[in-house]
Chain A
Amino acid sequence: MNRSDRTEAALLAAPGVLLLGAVFVLPIAGVLAYGFFRDGVPSLAALDWTSWSRLFADDYYLGLAARTLRLGLIVTLAALLIGYPLAIAIDAAPRRWRTWLVLALLLPLMTSVVVRSFGWLVILGRNGPIVQWLRELELVDRRFQLAYTETGIAIAMVQVLLPYMVLTLLGVIGQIDRRLLEAARAMGAGWWTALARVTLPLSWPGVVGGSVLVFAVTVGSFITPVLIGGLKLPVLASGIYASAISENDWPMAAVQSVALFAVVLIVLLPYALVTRPARGGVAR
Chain B
Amino acid sequence: MIGERPFAATVAMLLLLLLVGVFLLAPLAVVAAASLSAGGFLVFPPQGLSLRWYADVWGDPRYVQAAWTSLGLALITVAIAVPLGTAAALSLRRPGALPLRGLWEFLFLSPLVLPAVVLAIGLLILASNLAGGPSKAALVAGHVVIALPYVVRTVTAVLAGVDPATDDAARVMGASAWQRLFMVTLPQAKAGIAAGAVLAFIVSFDDAVLVLFLRSPTLETIPLRIYAGLEFSPDPGVAAVSTCLILLAAVAVGVTDRLLGGKQVVG
Known contacts A19-B144, A104-B24; is A9 also within 8 Å of B31 by CB? no
Contact residue among B17, B141, B239 (Cβ-Cβ distance under 8 Å from A118): B239
Known contacts A16-B84, A23-B145, A167-B267; is A117 also within 8 Å of B122 by CB? no
Q: In whole Å, how far is A65's beta carbon from the nearest beta carbon of chain B?
A: 14
Chain A residue nearest to B26 in the complex (CB): A123
Contact residue among A101, A114, A192 (Cβ-Cβ distance under 8 Å from B17): A101
Roughly how many angstroms separate A99 CA and B158 CA in the complex, as a whole number?
A: 18
Chain B residue nearest to A99 in the complex (CB): B262
Q: Give the residue among B239, B242, B266 with the most A Cβ atoms within 10 A.
A: B266
B113 engages A217 (CB within 8 Å):
yes
Which of under 10, 10 to 19, 20 to 34, or 35 or more describes the interface residues of A? Answer: 35 or more
Contact residue among A11, A27, A210, A264 (Cβ-Cβ distance under 8 Å from B119): A27
Q: Mark B8-40, 1 if CB is under 8 A from A, else 0.
A: 010011101100110111111111001000000
Query: Would you call the interface of chain A mostly helix, strand, loop, or mixed?
Result: helix
Q: Mark A17-52, 1 if CB is under 8 A from B, else 0.
A: 101101111111111001000001000000000000
Residue B123 lies at the interface, judged by CB distance under 8 Å to chain A: yes
A261 engages B115 (CB within 8 Å):
yes
Chain B residue nearest to A156 in the complex (CB): B27
Q: In whole Å, how far is B184's beta carbon from the nearest beta carbon of chain A?
A: 13
Task: Give every chain B residue within 8 A of A104 (Cβ-Cβ).
Answer: 21, 24-25
Residue B106 lies at the interface, judged by CB distance under 8 Å to chain A: yes
17 contacts between A and B (CB under 8 A): A1-B97, A10-B91, A19-B144, A24-B119, A27-B122, A89-B17, A102-B264, A104-B21, A115-B226, A118-B239, A119-B29, A121-B230, A122-B27, A185-B3, A222-B212, A227-B230, A276-B102
What 9 A-B pairs are tightest by C-beta distance, nearest first?
A119-B27, A167-B267, A27-B122, A220-B115, A13-B91, A112-B206, A12-B91, A9-B97, A89-B13
Chain B interfacial positions (CB closer than 8 Å to A): 1-6, 9, 12-14, 16-17, 20-21, 23-31, 34, 42-44, 80, 83-85, 87-88, 90-94, 96-99, 102, 104, 106-108, 111, 113-119, 121-126, 138, 141-142, 144-145, 148, 157, 177, 199, 202, 205-209, 212-213, 223, 226-227, 230-231, 234, 238-239, 242, 245-246, 249-250, 252-254, 256-257, 262-264, 266-267
